[in-house]
C-alpha cells in the first residue's frame, strides 16, 4: 500500500523537508518578501487569482515585516500567532494561506465587520498590528486593468455573460492580482499599533453522541431539551452559519412545533 501513496510531485529531499516543516516554502518566500510565490501558493487553496486574495497576501507580508521573525516561524500548533480577520471574502484566504492562521488551527479569529482589515497579534505581547486596505487600491486596477471591474459587475454581480466572458474575467483577475503585489505596502494599506482583544486558547472539549441522529458532536455544541435531555444543534434545527453574507442564526424548526424553552432567551448551551 505504501508505494501507491507516494508522491511523484516532490523529490525525496523536498518531501522530507516538507515533512519536517510543511510551511517551509511559504516561510522562505515570506523571508524573501517574495509576493509572487505567496500569491501563487495562495491560489492553490483559493482556486483562482484575484485582487482580493492578493491584498490578503500583501497584508500578511506587511504584518510580518512589522512583527518580525517570531511571527514568521509560527506553525499554528500553540496558537501563538493570531490573525483577526474582519471580512469573509477573498482577502481572508490570502491571510490564511500566507500567515498560516486558519479556522482549523484556531489561530484565525473572524469578526463579522465587513471591513478589509486584519489584526496580527502574538500571544504574550500587549500590542499587535492592525492593517486596513486603502480604498485607493482600486485606482491602480482601474488604471492598469480597466476591464476588470466592468467584467466583475457583469459576470459576478449580475451573473450574466457566457463562457468567453468568464474566461476573460479570470484572465483580468489574474492581471489585477499581479498588479497589486507590485505596489509598495504603504500605497495599499494603513497600519497602526493596537492593543487587540484576543480570546483565550481554544478549549479542549469532550464528545457527546446525540441520541436522535447518533452522530458524535462536541459536548459544547448541544442544546438542552429538558432537565437531562440533550440533542445536537442539527437535530434541534438551530445553529449559526457563516456564509457569504456573514454570520447568521438559522432556525429551521416548524413554528407550530416550537415550544418555549426555559433556558433564557435564544441561548445556545
Question: pLDDT tens, 20-79?
Answer: 888 888 999 999 999 999 999 999 999 999 999 999 999 999 999 999 887 887 777 878
pLDDT category at 86 given cuts 50, 70, 90 is very high
- Cβ-contact 110, 58 below 8 angstroms: no
Q: What is the pTM of this model?
A: 0.86
Above 80 in pLDDT, residue 251?
yes
Q: In the chain, where does DSSP find H-type helix?
A: 12-20, 24-31, 35-46, 51-67, 69-72, 90-99, 137-144, 148-151, 163-180, 185-188, 233-236
Kindly report the backbone phi and psi dihedral angles of residue 137, in degrees, each rounded to the nearest multiple of 5, phi listed first. -60, -30
C-alpha cell of 103?
A: 479556522
> Which cell is 89 given?
471574502
At residue 265, the pLDDT reads 36
Q: Report the C-alpha dihedral over residues 162, 166, 169, 173, rounded to 10 degrees.
A: 170
Residue 260 is placed in which grid cell? 418555549
Q: What is the pLDDT of residue 255?
A: 59
Total residues belonging to the chain: 269
Note the pLDDT of residue 227: 66
pLDDT band at 12 (very low <50, low <70, confident <90, very high): confident
HSE of 169, CA atoms in CB hemisphere, 13 A: 18
Instruction: With cut-offs at 50, 70 and 90, classify the pLDDT of residue 5.
Output: low
Report the range of poorest mean pLDDT among 85-89, 122-126, 135-139: 122-126
Say how far apart CA 10 and CA 185 lie, in whole Å.
33
Share of the chain above pLDDT 90, in %: 68
Distance CA 200, CA 216 (A): 25
The predicted model gives 257-264 an average pLDDT of 44
Given this model, what pLDDT does residue 11 score? 79
Amino acid at each position: 500500500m505504501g508505494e501507491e501513496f507516494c508522491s511523484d510531485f516532490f523529490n525525496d529531499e523536498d518531501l522530507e523537508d516538507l515533512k519536517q516543516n510543511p510551511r517551509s516554502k511559504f516561510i522562505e518566500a515570506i523571508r524573501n518578501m517574495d509576493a509572487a510565490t505567496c500569491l501563487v501558493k495562495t491560489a492553490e487553496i483559493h482556486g483562482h487569482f484575484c485582487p482580493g486574495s492578493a491584498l490578503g497576501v500583501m497584508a500578511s507580508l506587511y504584518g510580518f515585516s512589522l512583527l518580525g521573525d517570531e511571527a514568521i516561524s509560527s506553525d499554528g500548533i500553540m496558537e501563538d500567532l493570531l490573525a483577526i480577520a474582519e471580512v469573509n471574502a477573498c482577502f481572508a484566504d490570502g491571510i490564511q494561506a500566507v500567515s498560516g492562521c486558519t479556522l482549523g488551527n484556531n489561530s484565525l479569529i473572524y469578526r463579522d465587520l465587513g471591513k478589509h482589515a486584519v489584526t496580527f497579534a502574538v500571544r504574550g505581547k500587549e500590542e499587535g498590528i492592525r492593517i486596513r486596505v486603502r480604498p485607493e487600491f482600486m485606482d491602480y486596477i482601474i488604471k492598469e486593468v480597466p476591464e476588470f471591474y466592468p467584467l466583475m459587475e457583469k459576470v459576478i454581480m449580475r451573473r450574466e455573460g457566457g463562457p468567453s466572458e468568464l474566461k476573460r474575467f479570470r484572465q483580468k483577475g489574474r492581471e489585477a492580482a499581479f498588479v497589486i503585489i507590485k505596489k509598495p505596502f504603504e500605497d495599499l494599506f494603513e497600519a497602526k499599533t493596537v492593543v487587540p482583544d484576543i480570546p483565550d486558547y481554544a478549549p479542549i472539549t469532550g464528545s457527546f453522541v446525540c441520541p436522535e441522529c447518533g452522530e458524535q458532536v462536541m459536548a459544547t455544541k448541544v442544546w438542552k431539551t429538558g432537565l437531562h435531555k440533550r440533542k445536537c444543534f442539527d437535530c434541534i434545527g438551530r445553529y449559526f452559519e457563516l456564509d457569504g453574507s456573514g454570520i447568521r442564526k438559522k432556525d429551521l424548526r416548524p413554528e407550530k412545533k416550537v415550544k418555549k424553552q426555559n433556558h433564557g432567551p435564544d441561548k445556545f448551551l
